[in-house]
Structure 1
Amino acid sequence: MMLLFPIHHHPVLLLCIILLIGILAAAHDKEPYVMRISCGAREDITTKPSDTLWYRDFGYSGGKFTNAAVPSFIEPLLKTLRYFPQSDGLENCYTISMIPRGYYQVRVFFALIADPGFGNEPIFDISVKGTQIYSLKPGWSNVDDQSFVEAFVFVTDSSLAACFHSTGHGDPSVLSIEILQVDDNAYSFASLWGKWTVLRTAKRLTCGSAKSAFDEEYGSSQWGGNRFWLGTSIFPDSGQPISTNHSITQTAISPNFYPEKLYQSAIVGDDEQPDLSFQMEVNPNRNYSIWFHFSEIDPNITGGGQRVFDILINGDIVFENVDIFRRMGGNYAALVLNKTVEVTGRTLIITLRTIHGSHALINAIEIFELILAESRTSVVEVQALENLKTSLGLPHRLGWNGDPCVPQQHPWSGVDCHYDRKSGHWVIDGLGLDNQGLKGFLPNDISKLRHLQSINLSNNNLYGAIPSSIGTIAGLQTLDLSYNQLNASIPETLGQLMSLQILNLNGNHLSGRVPANLGGRPLHRASFNFTGNAGLCGIPGLRACGPHLSLAAKIGIAFGALFGLLLVLLCILIWWKRRANILRAQKIAASREAPYAKSRFTRDVQMTKHHSVQDQTRTSPESASNLLS
């Protein structure tokens, strides 16, 4: 794009461009995300020689802390571990949240419990983000590069779970967990690579040097992670070591950021065995990505054609006529070649066959097993199961940790899954938690497990009501809640379950009328059991119910009774108010008439006396004598 006007005439535009450049530079120079956990540690720890910081083990569920016996010299010098007794469940996880989206190197170190009473080394499986990446092999504690597992995974949802699955051979014990962000395009190869691929490190060798080392000791870029290179000075029965102090070009380059020191030693074929050959045991019928590292560090090679060789994998030529000097234009420059192959057997054989000139040479080899990342369980259904776990009070021994359905080798106990091609996620189609001593209630959001075909929670101690939302699980065929402590009435919504073939609600404390749309269903080859509920009525085998009232009638009666009660209260209130008014009026009248009555009484007495005197005056003596006679 060409600017049609001078930038210096537009200071605002110039400032924006400078800010943009600064932001891009800052984003490029930012440090990668790093999380290291010292399992079982109660405080942060720094280990030598690289002053590596390990965070304390806090906020993760399950397991117990104890002291560690480190079985390998390559392990970090940590003194504690976390182990997971089988009584805590068969699946236990470290879940780390708030992780920036990106590509990560995940490494888990194992250790032995520092107590002879715990028996021999444990054998267990490891998964990362729901994908099983490794199964420990017997004798791992005696093999240096088997005391840890390492994989490269994409994080797209800001969280990462590393889980440990018991196989019944001892208690899984974990020394440390590392989560190291690497370049988003690290170890990119062909069309198989991507967010659906997990790369598990099967072997990583630095050739010509007997000393094993990590990238940190090599002083490499942080964006390369922190790879462990197992030192080897000779391939089995072939080769001899050479080394140099000369600087090497084309090394710490994005996206893999290999350390320079990796290319300063090599193995070269000898006269007795000019070809170099290396073999290892692998998992059959898997794809493997193999990375070859070369640098012409022999000063006697001064031109092209002086060292030419082929690279074969299990007898097939994958790179022909490799000439390091000619490809890189001289000595002391790093050349990296990558090939992905399918291995059908249990052995991977790498051969460098000399074609012309000096014997074949190699500086380092990396071998990764390609593992198809598992699709995760639907987030909505995982949340519903987590709520169910809480409301049912599931014991730790059931081990509901991590992803319910994956890895497929270790689903949650009592959970049946199937892959839903339409959504691209695993979903839950069965719950079988009968006879588990559960003491809780059924949450309303159990209906979010909308793919359920069977629910069996019989012979527990569940209480409360049956959620009406269960009636929205359209495909439900079996519902067994028998022999619990459930109460209240049977939801009418259960009658909407047209696929329901088995309904066992017997042995509870349910009451009320059995919904009519359930009462007649057994005639259609369904098996329903309502016995053992003293309060239920309405179908043969249960007590008879009173007159059946519809819901509308029940609501009408309730409103009528409420209206009548309000009317009676209103009448009482009016009567009480009227009586109070009358009494108040009488009291007022009495208080007003009292002085008038007293004066009238006095006047009547005086008038009586006055009339008596007048009557005596008017009476004559003759009349009095006549009256006497």
Structure 2
Amino acid sequence: MFRYGNYDNKYSAPEFDLHLGVTYWVHMDWDGFRNFVDNEIIHVAPADTIDVCLANTGRGIPLISLSELYPLPYSPYQPTTPLDFSDRLNFGMKATFIRYANDPYGRSWFNDRVIDNSKSISTPTAIEDDSKEYKLQKQVLSTAITSLDASSPLVIDVSTRNDYEYLVHLHFFDFEKHPQNQQRSMEINFTDIIRQSVTLNYKQLHTIKATIPEGSYSISITSSPGSGLHPMINVYEIYRALPQPKSPTYERDVDAMWKIKDAYNILRISWQGDPCTPEEYRWEGVICNYSESIPRIISLDTSSSKLGGDIVTYFSSLMMLASLDLSNNQLTGEIPQFLAKLPKLKVLNLTGNNLKGSIPKALREKSSTGLTLSLDGNPGLCQTGSSKTTTKKFIVPLAASVAASMATLVILIYISLVLYERRRKKQKVLLLKKAGDLKSKNQVFCQDEILSITSNFESVIGEGGFGKVYLGRLKDGTQVAVKLLSKSSQQGFKEFESEAKLLSIVFHRNLVSLVGYCDDGDMRALIYEYMAKGNLRHQLSGLLSPVFPISLQLSHKGTLSRPNFFFFWVDFPDNSEGFESVSKNACKDALQFSCTT
């Protein structure tokens, strides 16, 4: 029901189009701003939901006052297409409009027509007939009209539009008693095109149905020869059969689009009703193929729509999708494998998100055979790695905590000594600045990149509890040391992770810098800056003599279960003095933790 009450002080009711799903229903218009319009429709729903769409046509904002839904489990109307209510007359009743609260079909009844050559008749006797499947109210069947004389017909003009078919129901219920063996027989003519005859039994409902084609008609009801009784009618109903020029979108596509909308809380105003049909109200960012009998979605653009979280699996149901644009959102997680299984996909744009991990192998292979794949602007995404994924999460940098044990921690330390000239008999010994200015970038490397950096693990430069250390070279020529976690390592992934945690948060000129890491598939590796002058053992073995090792105990409140030690050394000239003072200064300069020499 629609009623305009001048809520906007414009004294002009809006005009808009009304759609039932993909079917155009009616153009809404008012004769005056205080009038109301009541529209009914009988529709067999193809799905669990029914969409009633108020389409803005630029003549005011659409409105609706009341919406009611009545189930018709055993509908006598049996529509093959939606049936729009056109007219319903209850002949003979005193009121011009009435609606009965206990009507299971929620029908409204009118008596606003004057039928020439007719008179009203009624009965005060309660009618016990339940009118079978039509469920007509007793009050409706207790009134009727008859002609003024038996030889005169009842003529009812029916005004219809020329571009629709109409379904007509004529209800007859003879509540008058007649002499024995006399029955009311009548001939029904629809403008001489359709002719039917009917003989009524006392207090038994009889209904005639007819479908009339396009045009204007008159219904003529006359007494059959020999009947001797006046023609009569109680009720008639007329419905307009709405054509359905377009089929709804493929059901799986519709279901997928609504789940995508709900998953990302997409608030685009056009994302209502059917995604493809009517075509002029197609969802924003959606392109459909209408060449087949059922529309299919072939392109989806949700770029710059503030989508967050993982790429949901509902996209996999859009099997005809040729183009998918998810760029410039806040999508996270890894690129899912199912995107490579979309058989028609030719364009995939994932730029400007926060995706991570590796590109699925199947997707990389598809990109070499016709798929245009755009991935720029995803800092954590490894664009050359394998499609394998790991079952453990390894994220660098991690939360600031100093946690490692002596048995599980191997720190490569390089200390160089620079001895400055003594000035005015005061000795100062300073630790050398680490060679180079390489800083930890915490880069993410893939398996393929590790293989390239190390030339397929060509040169071994060391070995420890984790595994072997290989010489490598980055693309810019910088030499690095690649520590590869062996599958047979007794220290395992947890200790490997602990080392990465520490080096990602502790930075000092006397500690080796962590360049990056690889956690791709079965490969786990740490990439350090390369120490050209050797490792700690070389330094302590006398290559830089004399060497005084300093034990540096690190502790951090609430994070360590036992002390942890790092080793530094200081090289003194032969005539050095004040070892105690120098060692304390070196220890103090090393790290801001508790220091023991």
Structure 1 equivalent of residue 105 of structure 2 = 225
Structure 2 equivalent of residue 340 of structure 1 = 211
Query: In 1, are the aligned partners of 2:22 and 2:248 still within 8 Å (CA)?
Result: no
Q: Which amino acid aligns with 1:337?
A: I
How far apart are the structure 2 equivalents of 1:420 and 1:496?
31
| Superposition deviation, residue 257 in structure 1 | 1.4
Structure 1 residue 137 corresponds to structure 2 residue 28: yes
What secondary structure does 1:281 align onto? Answer: coil
Deviations 1:237-294 (A, max 9, x none): x3433122243757423211112222333344458984513122337244x3211022
How far apart are the structure 2 equivalents of 1:344 and 1:494?
56
Query: In 1, are the aligned partners of 2:349 and 2:374 still within 8 Å (CA)?
Result: yes
Query: In 1, are the aligned partners of 2:309 and 2:330 still within 8 Å (CA)?
Result: yes
Structure 1 residue 455 corresponds to structure 2 residue 323: yes
Query: In 1, are the aligned partners of 2:16 and 2:29 still within 8 Å (CA)?
Result: no
Query: In 1, are the aligned partners of 2:13 and 2:33 still within 8 Å (CA)?
Result: no
Structure 1 residue 259 corresponds to structure 2 residue 137: yes
How far apart are the structure 1 equivalents of 2:309 and 2:320?
18
Given the alignment, which residue of 43, 62, 76 partners 1:187? Answer: 76
Q: TM (normalized to structure 2)? A: 0.55
How far apart are the structure 2 equivalents of 1:302 and 1:147?
48
Structure 2 equivalent of residue 386 of structure 1 = 258
Structure 1 equivalent of residue 187 of structure 2 = 309
Structure 1 equivalent of residue 59 of structure 2 = 169
Structure 1 equivalent of residue 221 of structure 2 = 352
Structure 2 equivalent of residue 69 of structure 1 = none
Rate the CA distance shift 1:264–1:283 in 2: closer, same or farther, 3 A. Answer: same
Deviations 1:533-570 (A, max 9, x none): xx9999xxxxx9785499x99x9998735755828989
Deviations 1:327-359 (A, max 9, x none): 2245x5433211234x234x4543435665676
Query: In 2, are the aligned partners of 1:124 and 1:167 still within 8 Å (CA)?
Result: yes
Structure 1 residue 414 corresponds to structure 2 residue 285: yes
Q: Which amino acid aligns with 1:135?
A: V
Equivalent positions of 1:466-485 (< 5 A) are 466-482=335-351
Structure 1 residue 281 corresponds to structure 2 residue 160: yes
5+ residue gaps, structure 2? 388-442, 458-466, 469-481, 497-597
How far apart are the structure 1 equivalents of 2:285 and 2:152?
58
Deviations 1:293-324 (A, max 9, x none): 22346779997587643321x5412314x4xx
How far apart are the structure 2 equivalents of 1:148 and 1:216?
16
Deviations 1:86-115 (A, max 9, x none): xxxxxxxxxxxxxxxxxxxxxxx1222552
Query: In 2, are the aligned partners of 1:199 and 1:369 still within 8 Å (CA)?
Result: yes
Aligned-pair RMSD on alpha carbons? 4.8
| Superposition deviation, residue 137 in structure 1 | 3.0
Query: In 1, are the aligned partners of 2:345 and 2:371 still within 8 Å (CA)?
Result: no
Equivalent positions of 1:59-78 (< 5 A) are none
5+ residue gaps, structure 1? 1-108, 518-534, 539-543, 571-629
| Superposition deviation, residue 492 in structure 1 | 2.8
Rate the CA distance shift 1:304–1:204 in 2: closer, same or farther, 3 A. Answer: same
Which of the pair is proportionally richer in helix? 1
Structure 1 residue 111 corresponds to structure 2 residue 36: no
Q: Which amino acid aligns with 1:264?
A: S
| Superposition deviation, residue 472 in structure 1 | 1.1
Given the alignment, which residue of 90, 93, 99 partners 1:209? Answer: 93
How far apart are the structure 1 equivalents of 2:168 and 2:483?
78
| Superposition deviation, residue 420 in structure 1 | 11
| Superposition deviation, residue 481 in structure 1 | 4.0
How far apart are the structure 1 equivalents of 2:322 and 2:126?
64
| Superposition deviation, residue 505 in structure 1 | 1.5
What secondary structure does 2:70 align onto? Answer: strand
How far apart are the structure 2 equivalents of 1:157 and 1:176?
23
Rate the CA distance shift 1:439–1:498 in 2: closer, same or farther, 3 A. Answer: closer
Query: In 1, are the aligned partners of 2:123 and 2:175 still within 8 Å (CA)?
Result: no
Rate the CA distance shift 1:364–1:338 in 2: closer, same or farther, 3 A. Answer: same
What secondary structure does 1:178 align onto? Answer: coil
How far apart are the structure 2 equivalents of 1:471 and 1:122?
49
Structure 2 equivalent of residue 566 of structure 1 = 491
| Superposition deviation, residue 487 in structure 1 | 5.7
Rate the CA distance shift 1:216–1:168 in 2: closer, same or farther, 3 A. Answer: same
Structure 2 equivalent of residue 240 of structure 1 = 118
Equivalent positions of 1:535-554 (< 5 A) are 548=452
What secondary structure does 2:269 align onto? Answer: helix
Rate the CA distance shift 1:158–1:214 in 2: closer, same or farther, 3 A. Answer: farther
Query: In 1, are the aligned partners of 2:351 and 2:378 still within 8 Å (CA)?
Result: no
How far apart are the structure 2 equivalents of 1:474 and 1:344?
46
Percent identity, aligned pairs only?
17
Given the alignment, which residue of 232, 238, 247 partners 1:367? Answer: 238
Equivalent positions of 1:431-446 (< 5 A) are 431-434=300-303, 437-441=305-309, 443-446=311-314
How far apart are the structure 2 equivalents of 1:559 and 1:214?
86
Deviations 1:402-445 (A, max 9, x none): 44345666443333445899xx97653321345x5444356231
What secondary structure does 2:93 align onto? Answer: coil
Given the alignment, which residue of 508, 521, 524 partners 2:377? Answer: 508
Rate the CA distance shift 1:299–1:564 in 2: closer, same or farther, 3 A. Answer: closer
Structure 1 equivalent of residue 14 of structure 2 = 122
Query: In 2, are the aligned partners of 1:375 and 1:426 still within 8 Å (CA)?
Result: yes
Deviations 1:484-527 (A, max 9, x none): 6656554333245489746251653365445899xxxxxxxxxx
Equivalent positions of 1:601-616 (< 5 A) are none
How far apart are the structure 2 equivalents of 1:251 and 1:418?
53
Structure 1 residue 294 corresponds to structure 2 residue 155: no
Structure 2 equivalent of residue 92 of structure 1 = none
| Superposition deviation, residue 469 in structure 1 | 2.2
How far apart are the structure 2 equivalents of 1:317 and 1:265?
26
Q: TM (normalized to structure 1)? A: 0.53
